[in-house]
């Protein structure tokens, strides 16, 4: 295949596409291959959106093909929807997930600066009190909400990999993911997906969700902290929850 160019294949009718999807979902590898080959141009069309980010087009194309194959496996033939309409968001989501996971977690400059202030104030208070200060004491000393202290500290934590070795016995490593009970594994990954969706929100929106659903504050209490009206909090909350839902749907977590 030439750089960035997909070979031409005869265009498939919708009926043929649906027949191939059915066969592929029943385990027919040849049908799956035919679908992938005939949708290469679709994958390349999506890849064009992500060029110029430091990745080879062929690498993005391979990732896009993974999204295409997931679309083949998950496509529901009961709905009268064109396969390409369903496949494009799956391909986009797979490439976005690769770009996100392949890069270092980004923390905003303002949040980094706040974390540095918190660390210095915590050290000062520890010397003054003769013990480690509580979160509300640090927050009061800095004139900020306790939730902001928690958010800044959590943002600066180094993320742990599920492939991290937590124990090794006679050269046989036990990884973090091995410590997750099978019965709870699906719930654990659902929480991980939700945490990832929350991390993509702007700082103020993260703070709203944290106060509302992790601290059980009322909308009026959140409004007082942010110096806005309760109606504004209600509108923001509704929009944020819809955004989180759309993110989870795009990533296939719902």
pTM of this prediction exceeds 0.75: no
What is the separation of C-alpha 123 from the centre of its chain, rounded to a whole number of angstroms? Answer: 34
Q: How far apart (Å, rounded) are the C-alpha atoms in residues 145 and 139?
A: 6
- pLDDT number for residue 173: 59
Which pLDDT band holds residue 22 (cuts at 50, 70, 90)?
A: very high
| One-character DSSP codes across 55-87 | S-HHHHHHHHHHHHHHHHHH--TTS---HHHHH
Q: Which residues pair with 165 in a beta bridge?
A: 175
Average pLDDT over residues 102-124: 75
Q: Give residue 2's pLDDT band: very low, low, confident or very high (50, 70, 90).
A: very low
CATH 1.10.10.10 residue window(s) in the chain: 106-159, 167-254
Angle at 187 between CA 78 and CA 174, to 5 degrees: 120
**CA 45 to CA 180: how far, in whole Å?**
39
pLDDT band for 76, please (50, 70, 90 cuts): confident
Q: What is the dotted CATH code of the domain comprising 14-102?
A: 1.10.1740.10
Per-residue model confidence as pLDDT tens digits over 130-178:
988 888 888 899 998 887 887 777 666 655 555 555 555 555 555 555 5
Highest mean pLDDT, choosing among 50-54, 131-135, 154-158, 215-219? 131-135
Other C-beta atoms lying within 10 Å of the C-beta of residue 114: 21
Q: How far apart (Å, rounded) are the C-alpha atoms in residues 170 and 168?
A: 7
User: Each residue of 140-151: b (16+ CB within 10 Å) or e?
Assistant: ebbebbbbbbbb
* DSSP per-residue string spanning 82-151: -HHHHHHHHHHHHHHHHHHHHSPPP--HHHHHHHHHHHHHHHHHHHHHTSPPPHHHHHHHHTS-HHHHHH
Give residue 185's pLDDT. 45
Q: What are phi and psi of 252, to 5 degrees?
A: 75, 20
Percentage of the chain beyond pLDDT 90 is: 18
Beta bridge partners of 173: 168
Domain spanning 167-254, CATH architecture: Orthogonal Bundle (1.10)
Percent pLDDT > 70 in the chain is 74
Angle at 249 between CA 206 and CA 25, to 5 degrees: 155
Residue 240 has pLDDT above 80, yes or no: yes
Specify whether the CB–CB gap between 188 and 180 falls below 8 A: yes
CATH architecture of 106-159: Orthogonal Bundle (1.10)
Listed in order, the ranges of the chain carrying CATH 1.10.1740.10 are 14-102
């Amino acid at each position: 295949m030439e750089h960035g160019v997909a070979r031409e294949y005869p265009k498939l009718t919708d009926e043929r596409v649906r027949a191939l999807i059915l066969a592929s979902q029943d385990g027919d590898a040849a049908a799956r291959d035919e679908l992938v080959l005939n949708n290469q141009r679709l994958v390349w069309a999506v890849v064009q959106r992500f060029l110029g980010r430091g990745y080879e087009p062929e690498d993005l194309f391979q990732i896009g093909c993974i999204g295409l194959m997931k679309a083949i496996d998950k496509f529901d033939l009961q709905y009268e929807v064109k396969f390409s309409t369903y496949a494009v968001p799956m391909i986009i989501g797979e490439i976005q997930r690769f770009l996100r996971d392949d890069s270092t977690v980004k923390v905003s400059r303002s949040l980094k600066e706040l974390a540095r202030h918190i660390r210095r104030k915590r050290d000062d208070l520890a010397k003054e009190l003769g013990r480690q200060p509580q979160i509300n004491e640090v927050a009061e000393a800095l004139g900020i909400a306790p939730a902001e202290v928690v958010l800044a500290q959590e943002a600066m934590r180094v993320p742990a990999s599920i492939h991290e070795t937590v124990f090794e016995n006679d050269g046989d490593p036990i990884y973090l993911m091995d410590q997750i009970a099978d019965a709870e594994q699906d719930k654990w990954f659902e929480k991980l997906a939700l945490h990832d969706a929350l991390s993509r929100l702007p700082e103020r929106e993260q703070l709203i969700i944290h106060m509302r659903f992790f601290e059980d504050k009322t909308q009026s209490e959140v409004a007082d902290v942010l110096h806005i009206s309760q109606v504004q909090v209600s509108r923001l909350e509704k929009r944020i929850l819809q955004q989180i839902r759309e993110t989870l749907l795009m990533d296939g977590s719902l």
